[in-house]
Structure formats: structure tokens, C-alpha cells
């Protein structure tokens, strides 16, 4: 089951997964990533959960991949053993929406992990960055791709080539984060509220909506629009589409079956 490095908790329809390796500012070691993947896959398959909240501590969401673990790695080892390739499970295997609530440091792999989430919330003072250049390397978990798509090439290039940090307020201003909150408490409250709103809807529609929005990142527009239409047509096969539209017509609150 889950080790002490990951904390979990559950309210109705939402499940919080908390990175908990405070002595290393939640540096993402292989065991931590393995536990995180296990926790997310368990939550993903739970009938009782619609939304996942991914958090760290007030001081650090995550200060990056574990530098001390990476330091002695050789090319052949990293290549042949697919070093920390399992990071991508979060984006390929979890169908339920993930809200990242970022406070404190979100650097390197921590920034990349936050960008893998479906909704990114942060505090205004959060410390984001891709500082790998300072370590003689480059982003390795999608940072160069996701940051560039989110904030544009020139700004991403500047940040990745200089290794400079940026604040949560800037992340929100540039469109990387959906919202920046003035305090840690406000962040957690805002993230929970959004999670609860999402969890109040049909799971079938939630998962469909996540899937089609994420396709927009991979597909050309024409293919993406077609993909969306196929999923939209498919949702007419769900009970919840009938329940939602009937409830609207009858001015009732829908009682979802999630079927």
C-alpha cells in the first residue's frame, strides 16, 4: 500500500494525494515516483473518486527530480533502464482530472509534474522554474514542450536557457496556471471548491471532457474537432446524458448514476 512518502485523503468524490518527503523538499526520487504512480492508479480505478487533488507542502510542491540520485547515472544506464520514464504514467493512464495545488518550490521535475496536471492552481508566491541548465542538463519530463505550449516560445526559451525562476502570480498571468491565490489557505480552499464542483457532475462526462481537452494538445485542429465529435456522439449512449437533459427540462436536480 501507500508508503509514508505519499499521504492520501478522501472526501466525497475527490481524493487528495500529498507528496510527503519534507527533508528533501519533496524531491522526486524513483521510490517516490513509484508510490505516486501506484497511488494515482489505485485512485483512478476507485468508483468513489471523480477528481484527484495533487499537492505538496506549503514550502514545496516538489524541488525537482532527486539530484543526488541522478548525479552518478551514466548514459547507458539511463537509456537501457528507461530512467524515470514511468513519470509519464500520470498523463497516459489516469483518466480522472488531476488538480495540482502548488505552493512553494515547483522546480525542474516539480514544475513538470505540476504541468502534467489537468488544472494548475498555485499561490502567488509559488516558485516555479526549469533550472536544469544550472546543473549542466536540460528538462527531461516534458518541461520544454509543456512550458512552451503554455507560455510561448520566447518566454519559455528565456526561462529554460537562463534557469530563472518565476512566481505563481506570473504563472497565472502567462496562462500556465488557471489561478494564483494570495495564501496557502486560499489555495487549498480554492482547489477543494473546484474539485467538489467537478465531482458533483457525471463521471462519464468528466472523463470525456478531460480526454477531449487533452487531445487538443496532440492533434491538429481538424482531427481534434472530429475526435471531440466522436466522443460527444458516444456520450449519448450514457444514462447520465439522459438524466442530465431530462432534469433540465423538468427543472430538477440531476441524480447521476455515473453510467
Under 8 Å between Cβ of 10 and 4: no
CB burial string 156-191: b at 16+ within 10 A, e below: beebbeeeebbbbbbbbeeebbbbbbeebeebbebb
The dihedrals phi and psi of 182, each to the nearest 5 degrees, come to -70, -20
> Of residues 194-233, which lie at the interface with ligand DAK (CB under 6 A)?
none
Question: Within 37-66, which residues bind ligand DAK (CB under 6 A)?
Answer: 63-66
Q: How far is the CB of 197 from ligand DAK (least distance, A)?
A: 31
Looking at the Cβ atoms of 38 and 241, the one nearer to ligand DAK is 38
Residues 10-39 that bind ligand DAK (CB under 6 A): 24-25, 27
Q: Active-site residues: which are they?
A: 65, 109, 112, 132
| 87 lines the binding site for ligand DAK (CB under 6 A) | yes
Give least dist CB 77 to ligand DAK, A: 12
Nearer to ligand DAK, 82 or 255 (CB): 82
Please report which helix (H) or strand (E) contains residue 129, including its range: strand 127-129
Which lies closer to ligand DAK via its Cβ, residue 109 or residue 208? 109
Within 108-147, the residues that bind ligand DAK by CB under 6 A are 108-109, 112, 131-132, 135, 140-141
| Lookup: cell for 3 | 508508503
Reading phi first (left if > 0) and then psi (alpha if -120 to 50, else beta), residue 175 is in left
User: Residue 141: which of 217, 87, 81 has the closest Cα?
Assistant: 87
Give the interface with ligand DAK as residue ranges (CB under 6 A): 24-25, 27, 63-68, 83-85, 87, 105, 107-109, 112, 131-132, 135, 140-141
Amino acid at each position: 500500500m501507500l508508503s509514508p512518502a505519499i499521504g492520501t485523503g478522501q472526501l466525497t468524490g475527490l481524493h487528495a494525494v500529498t507528496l510527503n518527503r519534507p527533508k528533501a523538499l519533496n524531491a522526486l526520487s524513483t521510490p517516490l515516483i513509484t508510490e505516486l504512480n501506484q497511488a494515482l492508479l489505485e485512485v483512478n480505478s476507485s468508483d468513489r473518486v471523480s477528481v484527484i487533488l495533487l499537492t505538496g507542502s506549503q514550502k514545496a510542491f516538489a524541488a525537482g527530480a532527486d539530484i543526488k540520485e541522478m548525479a552518478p547515472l551514466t548514459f547507458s544506464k539511463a537509456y537501457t533502464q528507461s530512467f524515470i520514464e514511468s513519470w509519464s504514467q500520470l498523463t497516459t493512464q489516469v483518466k480522472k482530472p488531476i488538480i495540482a495545488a502548488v505552493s512553494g518550490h515547483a522546480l525542474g521535475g516539480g514544475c513538470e509534474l505540476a504541468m502534467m496536471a489537468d488544472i494548475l492552481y498555485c499561490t502567488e508566491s509559488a516558485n516555479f522554474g526549469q533550472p536544469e541548465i544550472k546543473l549542466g542538463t536540460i528538462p527531461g519530463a516534458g518541461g520544454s514542450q509543456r512550458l512552451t505550449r503554455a507560455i510561448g516560445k520566447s518566454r519559455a526559451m528565456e526561462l529554460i536557457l537562463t534557469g530563472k525562476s518565476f512566481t505563481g502570480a506570473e504563472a497565472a498571468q502567462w496562462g500556465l496556471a488557471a489561478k494564483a491565490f494570495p495564501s496557502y489557505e486560499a489555495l487549498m480552499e480554492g482547489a477543494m471548491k473546484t474539485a467538489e464542483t467537478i465531482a458533483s457532475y457525471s463521471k462519464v462526462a468528466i472523463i470525456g471532457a478531460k480526454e477531449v481537452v487533452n487531445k487538443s494538445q496532440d492533434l491538429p485542429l481538424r482531427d481534434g474537432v472530429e475526435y471531440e465529435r466522436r466522443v460527444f456522439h458516444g456520450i449519448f449512449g450514457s444514462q447520465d446524458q439522459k438524466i442530465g437533459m431530462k432534469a433540465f427540462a423538468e427543472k430538477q436536480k440531476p441524480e447521476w448514476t455515473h453510467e
